[in-house]
Structure 1
Amino acid sequence: MLLQTTETITSPWQKFELWFNAFKMQLPNILLAIIFMVLIFILAGFVRRITTKIYKRKSDNNPAIATVMASFISVLFVIFGIFIALSILGLNHTVSSLFAGAGILGLILGLALQDTLSSAVAGIIMTTRKSYKVGDFVESNTFLGTIVEINLRNTTVRQTNGVDVKIPNKLVLANPLINYSLTKERRVDITVGVSYNTDPELVKSITTKAVTNVTFINAAKEIEVFFTEFGNNSMKVLVRFWIKKYKQTDHLQAQSEGIIAIKNAFKENGIEIPSPVYVVEMKKEHNNL
């Protein structure tokens, strides 16, 4: 009875001793695996920098492509290093199990991280297409602004109000995207109403002359003036002209200058811009008493 009690008390110590002896035997391999992983991370950083330089040269100095591809390759490099480190520790069975379970794990991760993976794939596709880059002024998924970052998962757009919004790459790829930076110009549309008593040809002449000196206007393109609608109290006039800028602030400045110039020109030439007319009917209540 006493012997059984002693064995029970010393059993945890014996287990610890066995573990410690096993650790001493594995210590050289553990140190080697640690050194190997440190070297792998150093090499991964080196590979990342080299890949970034290579892709910057091959992608017309597009930092987005370089960043995405460098991240992708360095991650693969680290994963490969982890498998080698496990082999150094003698965990060959673990490595085999990891490879054997890769298919099942991949399926599980694919379902659990479907959105993340699809955005990552979309990010790679978009960067290789070169449809846009950091610094471009774009409109995507109702957001308008300048691209400040592109990574594997999101495209960050700094809106005209200064607020950054992260758009998943899969949404950017799936939906229409307008890149104003590609054409380096934008069209300005201004709508104004004129009195029915006004000569349409006079309106076209005065309007065209009024917007000629708007800032950033592209003089090589024709200024267009259209009568688009018979309104309740005025004829609707649409004025179109192009500017050699594409950012929203430049567009708003040109639009503002155009509106002011048209108003002043109409006033000088006696062209009336009718105010809205509202008809209010007052019903009289009859007292039956």
Structure 2
Amino acid sequence: MKNTLGTAFNQLIDKLEGWVSAIIQNIPNLILAILVMIASYFIAKYINKIVSKLVEKRVSQKSISNMIARISAVVVVVAGLFLALGILNLSKMLTSLLAGAGVAGLAIGLALQGTLSNTFAGVVLSFRKKIQIGNWIETNGYSGEVIDINLKDFTLKEADNNMVVIPNKLILENPLKNYSLTTKMRIALTCGVGYESDLEEVEKLTKETIANTFDQVESMDDVEFYFTEFGDSSINYLCRFWIDAESMLEKLRAKNKAIIEIKKAYDKAGINIPFPIRTLQFDNKLKLDKTSIDKQFSNN
């Protein structure tokens, strides 16, 4: 028993001596590895600041610039860690770390598939020059002003002041109409006048009213006017003209103003905008037998 304990103790001493000897031999590499990690830390902080400033010049969203800057810093630190492990001749540990990182990354990617897709979509949207905060857009059945673009969602403020939060993935995958990309919008009005109206006078009066109402319309020639159909109770027309506008609210205000002024002009000129009318005509005269009617009432 004593011999066994003595042998085990001697083996332990030999192991410890071997480890101490290995540590002493690798002290220069250990110091160099520590210096590499410290240097990578300070370089990562510097890279973080530089990348943040560069990204802020192109992206207005603070969350996006912070995320990109942090990713850059993490890449620098990870590169320093791998370099330090290489200096210490821990290639097996380096391989294990890479394999573990791959497996962990796959598991995290599957678990956070929706979140990551929204995050990457937010990064892509933040770099798109055709979508900026303050633009008036229409997408996914909603229309409003872009209030915020972050790593998770896309926020719109509708005309009724309600906020709509849409996942970034849906914005990227679906069509989007941006009213703010152009400085002009076309207003289209449809109306009808009575069959007794002078159609040439209607056209002239409508064009004059639009030209006098909006400063952007320089002359009557800038107003498009087309009679479109013989309706049930009116002759219908389409009137179109351009205004300076960048949002749907401005377009609605212009349309509202045009309708008011056209109605005033028609009332002054005696032009009728008829209600839907249905005329019932009986060609045969109904003969009523007074005797049979009196008999029916007496029976009741």
TM-score w.r.t. length of structure 1: 0.69
Structure 1 residues 200-245: Cα deviation after superposition (integer angstroms, max 9, x where no partner): 2222111111112335634388211122232211122222111112
Secondary structure, counterpart of 1:135 in structure 2: coil
The answer to whether 1:238 aligns with 2:255 is: no
Amino acid at match of 1:74: R
Corresponding residue pairs, total = 243
Whose Rg is larger? 2
Question: Which residue identity lines up with residue 138 of structure 1 in the other structure?
Answer: I
Q: Specify every segment of 5 or more residues in structure 1 that has no aligned partner in the other structure, as ranges.
A: 1-32, 281-285
1:2-41 matches, within 5 Å, as: none
- Quote the residue 1:222 is aligned against: 222
1:72 maps to what in 2?
Answer: 68
Q: Is the 8 A contact 2:147 2:157 kept in 1?
A: yes
What secondary structure, in the 3-state scheme, does the structure 2 residue paired with 1:162 have? coil
Contact 1:217 1:241 in 2 (8 A): no
Query: Are 1:270 and 2:270 matched, yes or no?
Result: yes
User: 2:44, 2:77 within 8 Å by CA — same for their partners in 1?
Assistant: no
> Structure 1, residues 170-223: CA drift from partner, whole Å, max 9, x if none?
211211111111102212122111112223222211111111233563438821
1:255 Cα shift? Answer: 0.9
Change in Cα spacing, 1:47 to 1:279, as seen in structure 2 (3 Å) is: farther
Question: Residue deviations 1:123-155, cap 9 Å, x none?
Answer: 233333322111212112122111121122322
Q: Mapping of 1:83-162 within 5 angstroms?
A: 97-162=96-161
Runs of 4 or more above 6 Å deviation:
82-88, 92-95
> 1:165 Cα deviation (Å)?
1.6
Distance 1:216 1:98, change over 3 A: farther
> Using the alignment, how far apart are the partners of 1:103 and 1:243 within structure 2?
57
* Contact 1:136 1:146 survives alignment (8 Å): yes
Alignment of 1:173-252 (within 5 A): 173-215=172-214, 217-219=216-218, 222-252=222-252
Distance 1:54 1:79, change over 3 A: closer
Distance 2:184 2:139 in 1: 18
Task: Report SS of the residue matched to 1:212.
Answer: helix
Give the partner amino acid of 1:273.
I
d(CA) in 1 for partners of 2:51 and 2:134? 22
SS of residue matched to 2:190: strand
Native 8 Å contact 2:56 2:65 kept in 1: no
For 2:60, which of 59, 63, 72 is the aligned residue?
63
The aligned counterpart of 1:29 is none
Q: SS where residue 101 of structure 1 aligns?
A: helix
**Secondary structure at 1:129 match in 2:** coil
Do 1:156 and 1:166's aligned partners in 2 also have CA atoms closer than 8 Å?
A: yes
Letter in 2 for 1:243: I
* Residues 214, 254 of structure 1: 8 Å contact kept: no
Counterpart of 2:149 in structure 1: which amino acid? I
Alignment partners' CA distance in 2, 1:116 and 1:183: 33
User: Cα RMSD (Å) of the superposition?
Assistant: 3.7
Distance 1:227 1:49 in 2: 64
| Aligned equivalents of 2:142, 2:65: Cα separation in 1 | 26
- For 2:69, the aligned partner's letter is I
